[in-house]
Amino acid sequence: MINIKENEKLSVMNHSCAHLMAQAIKHLYPNAKFWVGPVIEEGFYYDVDLGDITLTKEDLPAIEKEMKKLAKDGKRIFREEISKKEALEKFADDPYKIDLIERMDEENTIISMYTQGDFTDLCRGPHVETVKLLKNFKLLKVSGAYWKGDASRPMLSRVYAVAFYKPNDLKDYLKMMEEADKRDHRKLGVQMDLFHLDPEDPGQIFWHPNGWKMYVTLQDYMRQKVIKDGYQEVNTPAIMPRTLWERSGHWGHYQKNMFITESEKRLFAVKPMNCPGALEIFKSRTRSYKDLPLRLAEFGHCVRNEPSGTLHGIMRVRGFVQDDAHILCTEDQIEAEVKKFCLLLLDVYKDFGFDKNLLVKLSTMPEDHVGDEKTWQHAEAALSEACKAAGMEYEIQPGEGAFYGPKLEFTLIDAIGRQWQCGTIQLDYQLPSAERLNAEYIGADNQKHHPVMLHRAVLGSLERFMGILIENYAGAFPAWLHFEQVAVVPVGNDFNAYSQKVADFLSVANIRAKAYTGDDNMKSKIKAISSEHKTPYILVVGAKEQEEETVTCRFRFSSQLPQKTFSLKDFRDYVLDKVQTHYNGI
């Protein structure tokens, strides 16, 4: 799937189409006022205030019709530069534009605006030459969005859309979007009874038994991987004092995203990240260079005060757990540790089928950062060399590093071509420094030194990764991960006891099996199990199976694998082999 925001030509096309959409809305709703209309990965959106009117999906065809009429008219798009004073006068009746203009620094700032026919809007540009080029677009959906993401401000209508140069590109994109809608983790989460989200508690997930089985399986899988890779698991407090966050730098750079609480006249914050806690463990006793590298893994529950308008299912939440780890090492160990991490990441992604077409990006120093530029340059060079030593190519993302250090980001591609940034490893000279948390070890020269800190995660947020898996597999999870690995269905009630015996036999081997002994007939049970649970193995048992102590297995992908009869022991061993090897099929 193409990222429109990163495609320069398509980005210009979509931003121009946002202006066309705004012009069409203005024609249909003369009192409309507009906030912002940025290009995003999936196209663009525009936030519009229609007073007492709220746009709905039913309004979109009329807006599309007006857009096509305007595009056919073929007006050219003109750029004009005016002063801040002139802009304030021109948009005096538009509070949204006035807000944008007044936040510009200098009184004599040159402001650009673009005009097409009877519509003018503030914009940096660039744009296409004429609206005649804006033929292939589609308005996708409409939702509510608070102005500036603030619930105390007006609710605006946010219209999402996308535009392409070629009609077939638009057709292919819409087909992909249709497939993505079928895979929507929010829909499948309800259908498969995995979790629910409560609007009274935004950004928090209520995991149901089915979903929690998978969540714990995923967490235990990662726990086994990291322990085997030389990590020690730790756990740090959920709430830590303001003084610690001030020393770490998070209070100054991240406070707006932190939940603050007070006790005994002291301020505390619910941790939005785990790194300061890991360093407190490192500092709890005297460390030697012989202790390094020290790899501390933590499935740390974090909470971040994300704006409610940015939340999305279980993909973007306020409360989440990271498969987090912090490696304390010397500079000489950076290359080996980054390479070791890359190999771990590839090993994990392979078990989910994500090891192909992996994208790697090196994010460099942002404007809002701590530490001097020379240290940053040194850190970026070290991470770059380590990445090359791991045999992985990368591209540069200028200015996208964390405030404390550069990072490598690993983006996987799912079954329908969408990109998801998950894994990351960040090189940090700042947090362990004397100016921050002052972590020290005794070197071979018997002097005190500050370690380098590597922040790393393979999956990232377990909640988000679960959402990715739901959509990637469309709910048809590999057997080792599925909440229900085996469904046992009797051909009639006379065989309920044998069905339960089979399920119990498999359960003893830690295979997640359930006997369906209800009153529905066999066909109804199999249809429900296949469509709702997408269970990998459905065992049908009747007189012959009971007499011979066998099972007849219907595989989930019956078109690929014919049904097969197993002895109980052979079927148990078959499933255990698939589960224990984390086989990505069935």
State the Cα–Cα distance between residues 377 and 401, nearest whole angstrom: 12
Burial class (CB in 10 A: 0-12, 13-18, 19+), 465: buried
Paired tokens of 343: 């190999």
**pLDDT score at 307:** 83
432 preceded by a cis bond (ω within 30 of 0): no
Read off the pTM.
Answer: 0.86
Paired tokens of 311: 């939340």
Q: What is the torsion angle, in degrees rounded to the nearest 10, for the CA atoms of residue 17, residue 421, residue 234 and residue 248?
A: -50
**pLDDT score at 335:** 86
> Quick one: angle between helices 373-389 and 334-351, nearest 10?
50
Q: What values do phi and psi take at 329, rounded to 5?
A: -150, 175
Give whole-number Cα distances, 539 to 430, 442, 494, 499, 553, in Å: 57, 61, 16, 9, 5
Contact 306, 316 (CB under 8 A): yes
To the query of whether residue 301 is one of the catalytic residues in this protein, the response is no
- Among the options 26, 138, 407, 482, which is catalytic? 407
To the query of whether residue 342 is one of the catalytic residues in this protein, the response is no
- Among the options 17, 123, 275, 342, which is catalytic? 275
**H helix runs in 56-202, sequence order:** 60-73, 84-90, 95-102, 167-182, 185-191
Paired tokens of 9: 């030509």
**pLDDT score at 559:** 66
Contact 426, 390 (CB under 8 A): no
State the Cα–Cα distance between residues 203 and 319, nearest whole angstrom: 6
State the Cα–Cα distance between residues 370 and 429, nearest whole angstrom: 10
To the query of whether residue 455 is one of the catalytic residues in this protein, the response is yes
Three-class SS state of 530: helix
DSSP structure string for 236-259:
--SEEEHHHHHHHTHHHHHGGGS-
Q: Cα 42 vs. chain centroid, distance in angstroms?
A: 14
Which residues pair with residue 395 across a beta bridge? 361
To the query of whether residue 275 is one of the catalytic residues in this protein, the response is yes
Give whole-number Cα distances, 346 to 456, 457, 561, in Å: 14, 12, 29
Q: Which residue has the tokens 């925001």?
A: 5
To the query of whether residue 326 is one of the catalytic residues in this protein, the response is yes
Q: What values do phi and psi take at 168, rounded to 5?
A: -65, -30
- Among the options 324, 329, 450, 553, which is catalytic? 324
Q: Which residue has the tokens 């003369």?
A: 30
Measured at the CA of 74, the angle between CA 136 and CA 114, to 5 degrees, comes to 95
- Among the options 318, 455, 464, 512, which is catalytic? 455
- Among the options 26, 97, 127, 326, which is catalytic? 326
**pLDDT score at 402:** 82
Give whole-number Cα distances, 308 to 64, 116, 131, 155, 556, in Å: 29, 35, 35, 12, 38
Three-class SS state of 329: strand
Nearest CA to 294 among 333, 327, 323?
A: 327
Q: Which residues contact 395 (CB under 8 A, 6 or more apart)?
A: 359, 360, 361, 362
- Among the options 304, 318, 418, 450, which is catalytic? 304
Local confidence pLDDT in tens for the 586 residues of the chain: 677 888 899 999 999 999 999 999 999 999 999 998 899 988 999 999 998 888 999 999 999 999 999 999 989 999 999 988 888 899 988 999 999 888 886 655 788 999 999 999 999 889 999 999 999 999 999 998 888 878 788 899 999 999 999 999 999 999 988 999 999 999 999 999 999 999 999 999 999 999 999 999 999 999 999 999 999 999 999 999 999 999 998 998 889 999 999 999 999 999 999 999 999 999 999 999 999 999 999 999 999 999 887 889 999 999 999 999 999 999 889 889 999 999 999 999 999 999 888 899 999 999 888 778 888 888 888 888 888 887 888 999 999 888 778 999 999 999 998 889 999 999 998 899 999 999 999 999 999 999 999 999 999 999 999 999 999 999 999 999 999 999 999 999 999 999 999 999 999 999 999 999 999 999 999 999 999 999 999 999 999 999 999 999 999 976 667 899 999 999 999 999 999 999 987 7
State the Cα–Cα distance between residues 221 and 350, nearest whole angstrom: 13
